[in-house]
């Protein structure tokens, strides 16, 4: 039996609790953890908020099962609702439960401790394992399939866009060449391929395959499109005074979160407008003054916190109808990125 408390160290736990819990003080308050994982953050939220209930969403059935058992062991099961879904199904999850608004939404993006530590899932470049990388093992697309079937141009696109890899073309070209005679089926094979392609003089710190593995994981799971499409759903279901709290672990995630939050942090008027009408005022209030990072003590205790960026906003007034309609139309990563450049 897996002991979740020994394999799961919640990142910036105290800071997350301090940001989430003030929104859950009223009786009947509802929180949603969109990335439940092993429920390290969620159990802390419920313990600090005795009047609140929490909906825990996860696409990983094993994590969901372990988290549910943890809630039972902690005596919190009567205030916990587990849901097997991807977080971009946020609106559907609430609608199916006749919930119009919630008071706090939390997202801890990236890999859970379970996914990293279970080497057979193929997420880590430090262990030789089948190239799977699915957060939801019921979905068909795997990293192995991408490497076997994607054309050269698509491989270049995902390595460049999602991995920010400067040698995307060279790596993609070598993958296409090798797969004609030898299928790429393990993380060790891919690791060695990247090691042979990337010049020694131009390597980033750490393993040279890190960016390629990140890009594949994002493509397999549709992470950035799902994130860009979920944030508007969350905003449209926040109660006034509700809070959105997000932990990101790489620059593309953080850029997506920051771009979205900025839409509600700025007055919706031209820069030279002398008076701002009430309906044009910001509807978010920033709670973190940029991004909170882990300090040296936290990084020493939990090395996975080294890259975290924690951002949070509070909804201060009803979202204007024009923004609500825009959010209802949804979004994707490329559109969100263009909006960020315009902003």
Instruction: Please state the separation of Cα 157 from the chain's center in Å.
Output: 21
Q: Tell me whether residue 108 is annotated as binding.
A: yes
Q: Tell me whether residue 295 is annotated as binding.
A: no
Q: Tell me whether residue 39 is annotated as binding.
A: yes
Element at 45 (helix H, strand E): helix 40-48
Instruction: Please state the separation of Cα 252 from the chain's center in Å.
Output: 10
Q: How far is CA 327 from CA 234, 235, 242, 317, in A?
A: 9, 8, 17, 16
Using DSSP's 3-state secondary structure scheme, residue 109 falls into: coil
Q: How far apart are CA 280 and CA 178, in angstroms?
A: 56
Q: How far apart are CA 95 and CA 109, in angstroms?
A: 23
The total of other beta-carbon atoms located within 10 Å of residue 169's CB is 15
Using DSSP's 3-state secondary structure scheme, residue 311 falls into: strand
Judge contact between 22 and 299, C-beta under 8 A. no
Residue 340 buriedness (CB in 10 A; 0-12 / 13-18 / 19+): middle
- List the structure tokens of 11: 């990142």
Q: Tell me whether residue 37 is annotated as binding.
A: no
Q: Tell me whether residue 41 is annotated as binding.
A: yes
Give the bridge partners for 83, in sequence order: 57
Q: Which residues are annotated as a binding site?
A: 39-41, 58, 87, 108, 115
Q: Which residues are annotated as a binding site for S-adenosyl-L-methionine?
A: 39-41, 58, 87, 108, 115
């Amino acid at each position: 039996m897996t002991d979740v408390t020994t394999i799961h160290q919640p990142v910036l736990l105290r800071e997350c609790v301090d940001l989430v819990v003030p929104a859950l003080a009223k009786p009947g308050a509802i929180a949603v953890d969109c990335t439940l994982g092993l429920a390290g953050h969620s159990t802390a939220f419920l313990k600090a908020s005795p009047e609140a209930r929490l909906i825990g969403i996860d696409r990983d059935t094993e994590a969901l099962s372990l988290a549910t058992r943890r809630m039972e062991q902690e005596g919190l099961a009567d205030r916990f609702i587990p849901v097997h879904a991807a977080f971009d199904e946020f609106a559907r999850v609430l609608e199916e439960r006749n919930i119009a608004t919630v008071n706090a939404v939390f997202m801890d993006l990236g890999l859970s401790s379970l996914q990293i530590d279970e080497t057979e899932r193929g997420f880590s470049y430090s262990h030789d394992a089948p190239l799977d990388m699915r957060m939801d093992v019921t979905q068909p697309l795997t990293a192995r399939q991408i490497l076997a079937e994607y054309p050269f141009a698509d491989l270049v696109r995902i390595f460049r866009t999602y991995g920010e890899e400067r040698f995307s073309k060279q790596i993609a070209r070598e993958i296409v060449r090798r797969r004609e005679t030898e299928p790429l089926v393990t993380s060790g094979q891919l690791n060695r391929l990247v090691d042979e392609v990337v010049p020694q003089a131009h390597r980033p710190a750490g393993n040279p395959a890190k960016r390629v593995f990140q890009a594949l994981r994002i493509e397999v799971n549709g992470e950035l499109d799902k994130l860009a499409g979920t944030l508007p759903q969350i905003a449209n279901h926040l109660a006034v005074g509700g809070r959105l709290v997000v932990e990101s672990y790489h620059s593309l995630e953080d850029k997506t979160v920051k771009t979205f939050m900025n839409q509600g942090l700025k007055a919706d008027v031209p820069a030279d407008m002398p008076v701002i009408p009430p309906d044009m005022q910001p509807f978010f209030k920033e709670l973190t003054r940029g991004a909170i990072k882990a300090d040296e003590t936290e990084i020493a205790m939990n090395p996975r916190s080294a890259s975290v960026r924690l951002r949070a906003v509070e909804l201060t007034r009803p979202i204007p109808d024009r923004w609500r309609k825009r959010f209802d139309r949804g979004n994707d990563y490329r559109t969100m990125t263009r909006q960020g450049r315009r902003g």
